[in-house]
Structure 1
Amino acid sequence: MTNIAELGEARRAQALAAPESATLSPPTLRELAEADGVRFILAVFVDLNGKPCAKLVPTAAADQLEAGALGFAGFAAGLIGQQPQDPDLIAIPDLTSYVPIPFVKEGLGIVHCDPHVNGEPWPYAPRVILKNAISDLARRNLQAKVGAEVEYFLVHRDDAGAISTADRRDDGARTCYDARGVTRMYDHLTAVSDAMNSLGWGNYANDHEDAAGQFEQNFAYDDALITADRVVTLRYLISVLAEQRGMTATFMPKPFANRAGSGLHFHLSLWADDAPVFPDDRDRRGLGLSPTAYAFIGGILAHASGLQAFLAPSVNSYKRRGASTSASGATWSPKKATYGGNDRTHFIRVPDEKRIELRAGDGSANPYLAIAATISAGLDGLDQAIDPGDPCGPGESRATSAVLPQTLLHAVEALRRDRVLLDSFGIEHPVGEYFAQAKEDEFLTWHNTVTDWEINSYLTAY
């Protein structure tokens, strides 16, 4: 397969940085697309729920897109801080995110956009929120590198709406890493892998996850914004490539009550001057971490309950978190704000001295918001020199370890008590408050729905 990452590379390098001595202007989006044989471009942004929104722009009209002529009715797009009477959201493309995606449709490309209103970045736009958090890091001469583990199920949905595993032979209780299940889904998994590698993402593993019908496909870590863009792109690619084979890919945290749910785990590290700042061989706590790393961990743990509104932002998230077990015998979802070494039961796992793994996120998380909120929590740890205490042993917790919220409503209440997280998303525009209210409304909408469980439990109980 042609390596798309190498096509027009000289032109893309100009888009990333134009030296002062350069006499040529950086290439336009139209020039980049034409060099790749792209006829149409998906101009994409996401709302606060992570829903991908796009318009299909002919390459011939790419100059208009780049000039800010592409408007969206924000209220119609989704949860993004607008009412029907508000001015258009204008999608401004980030040319460094542009890539051709012919494995979806021949002649198709994609570019991530930053929504603007009245010429200014829109503060309710998730990509803008993450860029603001990255700027907060830069003011401290720090940079965040992030890796993401994207888990999902492949299912079929019948006419009555019931779902079943797309691979009908994939029905065991302990199917994790099952070679036969991976082989039966070979065409889908390799199509996704080839797509990632052609984009230069460095796919390094594709595996069957814990639950029947569940998979994970990994790619190399990168700068925080790049990784968030890639998570959004990968969800789109997985969904479309699954549809091409008659399947539905779902990132819903808990689609099956008796199986493990889908996580979105983030691996984070801080860097300064192109060097990681987490390692320290003088660490007496045994994890090889620096005081900076421990303070960053301390901040995340201190804000863990409020963070759950961003890491696990759906009603269904707490069906995964609240599960006592699954068919395989484990839920892989932390219930307390603990940290430790190479132990997957903790909220924060430290697999090595260079990074931490945040294991509380699930498949409904918006990657921009989840990473931005985590950065803000960690920076508060640096500012306050928060000490997380000694790491917990395998499966251990402390009496002081916070119990994570049991429902989305509990998470919203925790967020509302957390001024650091609320204010980090903006004070002039209360994005945090807006998001909290939307999530409370989401919970109450679900709560007001009469379920089969209630009918079965109460219909003739009295």
Structure 2
Amino acid sequence: MSTLVRRGSASGHLRPATLRCVCSALVAPEPRAPGPPIAAKNAPLAQRSSSPWRRQSGSSSSSSAFSFSTLTATKKAAAAAAAAAKERVRGLLTVEELKRLVEEDEIETVVVGLTDCYGRLVGKRFTASFFLESAVEDGTHGCSYLLATDMDMEPVPGYRFAGWEQGYGDIHLVPDMRSLRIASWLEKTAFVLCDVVDDESRALAPHAPRSILKKQIAEAHSLGDLVPMAASELEYYLYQQNFEEAKEKNYAGLKPVGWHREDYHILQGSREEFFHGPARRHLQASGVPVENSKGEFGIGQHELNVKYAEVLEMADRHVVYKQCLKELADQLGVAITFMAKPHFDQPGSSSHLHLSLWKDGKNAFHGDKKLGSISCSDEFRWFLGGWMKHTPELMVFYAPNVNSYKRFIAGSWAPTQLVWSRDNRTAPFRLIGSGKSLRIECRLPGADCNPYLAFAAALASGLDGIRHKIEPPAAFEGDVYKAKNLQQVPRSLGEAVALFQKSAFAKAMLGDDVHHHYAHFFETEHLAHLQTVTDWERNRYFEQI
């Protein structure tokens, strides 16, 4: 590990501790959208201590319904809930708190971001003073191609939303001030996520991933004042090389930070605390409450879990989490990947989704009806039935790229056949908890998923189940990997894209135009793979064929 420390100390990117006391000095901000209590009250965040690394280095609603008036009403509801709320998430900021921190020279920069279709963060950096002067009220603009490019940021023809024919005009980015937070891993920086708004209609642009999730949240409210609560469990691999070195090696032959399988392994986990310790502290200080971290089954693989929340807030936390860990790795001279399957001989990295619906501060999944051995409500049973029924046709939202499908291998802790079971990790739908903690864990999504799209797909499917009283199949007991004659998980992006393209349900969920947009997006990704000559092909055929 000494080589890692030397690289980190030479990087010159470790931020000074200018914000160590900021979070403990903050007045508690107003909470996000109203809903049931998220979790137990947070313990006060202690002043961040230097890590060992630092010590050694010295350093179905129509989209038109989403207007500014709707957003204003939501903010008013959030403000009303604030008076009675017991939960205060440390690291979130109000505009007034941001003004004070700017005046005190504690914040100089505000990152204004949104996710593209892949789930990557894109956007701008504002001087904090100009953000307060301009962007708070007026937002900002970005090129429409941000929602119509490939992984290399190349403009892709064939989209209706944006293209050369339309001149690649601007999209209006409106900061959601409820997502405003300290970005403690960056020096003197705050961070806010944006909605994409149509300048003419003043409605949320329906193609943006965050808009798609917001539409389904509105559907849940309209179905009976239901509040979706959620969590995502991200896994990742960590390597001793930095990102530049990994690129120079074509991302092959990288050395993981560990050398033992580290699932729950305390000794191996301790060797990696130079990274995971600061990661936990930075997230906790940046409005992302952390539960715990642990080693995972792969060599160099880890998991860090954050507290569950209302589903939009959870998706926002997911985005902040990934950005924080990538930038922290960059600062510390190591590399991290959220690929679903970076190594053929190691388990893949997942993003298990946990979902429940709440009403009047109580878990609406709790009830006295029976589903196998589970006591639950009708809504729970129907939500599960709808989620399972629509999974194949919406699989692209859980497994969005070519690599995603290489994770679905028997015996690898990833699901392969579509069943549900009680507390069974071989099943894609694992039912866990009881009473007020009863929830559905979906083990299909990989760490490469876009959280807004994955949660939106899950909600749309489950809510359709409630509307149409869709019954789930009987519970499965035993080893799903060994079972015969069960419905298989789609085995490739091509197969999943074909199911999505012809899905009437996907069209109804998204609308024809947005459905065309994402069908084209996923098909473009699939075709890029089909046209690429791989190292595997050269190694197999160059001389022998």
- 1:16, CA displacement in angstroms? 7.1
Which residue pairs with 2:16 in the alignment? none
Which residue pairs with 1:8 in the alignment? 27
Q: Is the 8 A contact 1:65 1:91 kept in 2?
A: no
Partner amino acid, structure 1, of 2:172 = I
1:265 partnered with 2:330: no
1:115 partnered with 2:196: yes
Which residue pairs with 1:71 in the alignment? 141
User: How high is the TM-score relative to the length of structure 2?
Assistant: 0.77
CA distance in 1, matches of 2:266, 2:196: 43
1:150 partnered with 2:234: yes
3-state DSSP of counterpart to 1:237: helix
Which residue pairs with 2:170 in the alignment? 88
Which of these residues, 436, 442, 457, is aligned with residue 358 of structure 1?
Answer: 442
- 1:38, CA displacement in angstroms? 1.9
Which residue pairs with 2:488 in the alignment? 403
Partner amino acid, structure 1, of 2:28 = E
Q: Is the 8 A contact 1:208 1:215 kept in 2?
A: yes
CA distance in 2, matches of 1:121, 1:144: 20
3-state DSSP of counterpart to 2:401: coil
Which residue pairs with 1:33 in the alignment? 98
1:56 partnered with 2:121: no
CA distance in 1, matches of 2:300, 2:99: 40
CA distance in 1, matches of 2:325, 2:234: 10
Which of these residues, 466, 469, 478, is aligned with residue 382 of structure 1?
Answer: 466
CA distance in 2, matches of 1:220, 1:272: 19
Which residue pairs with 1:161 in the alignment? 250
Which of these residues, 452, 458, 471, is aligned with residue 368 of structure 1?
Answer: 452
CA separation of 1:238 and 1:286: change in aligned 2, threshold 3 A: same
Q: Is the 8 A contact 2:30 2:79 kept in 1?
A: no
Further displaced range: 393-402 or 8-17: 8-17
Which residue pairs with 1:425 in the alignment? 510
Which of these residues, 226, 231, 240, is aligned with residue 327 of structure 2?
Answer: 240
Further displaced range: 389-398 or 430-439: 389-398
CA separation of 1:2 and 1:86: change in aligned 2, threshold 3 A: same
CA separation of 1:3 and 1:414: change in aligned 2, threshold 3 A: farther
Partner amino acid, structure 2, of 1:50 = G
The structure that is helix-richer by fraction is 2
1:275 partnered with 2:359: no
CA distance in 2, matches of 1:10, 1:457: 59
CA distance in 2, matches of 1:90, 1:286: 50
CA displacement, residues 192-228 of structure 1 (integer Å, 9 cap, x when unaligned): 1112222453312111111111111001100000000
Which residue pairs with 2:39 in the alignment? none
CA distance in 1, matches of 2:247, 2:373: 52
3-state DSSP of counterpart to 1:120: coil
Q: Is the 8 A contact 1:87 1:117 kept in 2?
A: no
CA separation of 1:188 and 1:443: change in aligned 2, threshold 3 A: same
User: Percentage identity across aligned positions?
Assistant: 27
Aligned pairs for 1:179-218 within 5 A: 179-218=266-305
Q: CA RMSD in A?
A: 2.5
Which residue pairs with 1:458 in the alignment? 541
3-state DSSP of counterpart to 2:376: coil
Which of these residues, 311, 327, 332, is aligned with residue 398 of structure 2?
Answer: 311
- 1:247, CA displacement in angstroms? 0.8
CA distance in 2, matches of 1:144, 1:258: 37
CA distance in 1, matches of 2:296, 2:304: 10
- Runs of 4+ with deviation above 6 angstroms: 11-16, 397-400
CA distance in 1, matches of 2:371, 2:526: 44
CA distance in 2, matches of 1:432, 1:368: 15
Aligned pairs for 1:440-451 within 5 A: 440-451=523-534
Which residue pairs with 2:428 in the alignment? 347
CA distance in 1, matches of 2:247, 2:521: 31
- 1:11, CA displacement in angstroms? 6.8
3-state DSSP of counterpart to 2:374: coil
Partner amino acid, structure 2, of 1:9 = A
Q: Is the 8 A contact 2:339 2:349 kept in 1?
A: yes
- 1:279, CA displacement in angstroms? 1.7
CA separation of 1:180 and 1:274: change in aligned 2, threshold 3 A: same
CA distance in 2, matches of 1:206, 1:44: 26
The unaligned stretches of length 5 or more in structure 2 are 1-19, 33-74, 84-92, 150-158
Which residue pairs with 2:46 in the alignment? none
3-state DSSP of counterpart to 1:90: strand
CA distance in 2, matches of 1:72, 1:97: 19
Q: Is the 8 A contact 1:30 1:60 kept in 2?
A: no
CA distance in 2, matches of 1:176, 1:331: 13
CA distance in 1, matches of 2:332, 2:389: 45
Aligned length: 445
3-state DSSP of counterpart to 1:211: coil
CA separation of 1:399 and 1:10: change in aligned 2, threshold 3 A: closer
Q: Is the 8 A contact 1:412 1:436 kept in 2?
A: yes
CA distance in 2, matches of 1:255, 1:75: 29
CA distance in 1, matches of 2:254, 2:387: 36
Which of these residues, 383, 393, 396, is aligned with residue 477 of structure 2?
Answer: 393
1:98 partnered with 2:117: no
CA distance in 2, matches of 1:181, 1:357: 28
3-state DSSP of counterpart to 1:283: strand
CA separation of 1:226 and 1:6: change in aligned 2, threshold 3 A: farther
Q: Is the 8 A contact 1:333 1:345 kept in 2?
A: yes
3-state DSSP of counterpart to 1:175: coil
CA displacement, residues 333-357 of structure 1 (integer Å, 9 cap, x when unaligned): 1111110000111111011231110
Which residue pairs with 1:138 in the alignment? 221
Q: Is the 8 A contact 1:12 1:32 kept in 2?
A: no
- 1:77, CA displacement in angstroms? 6.1
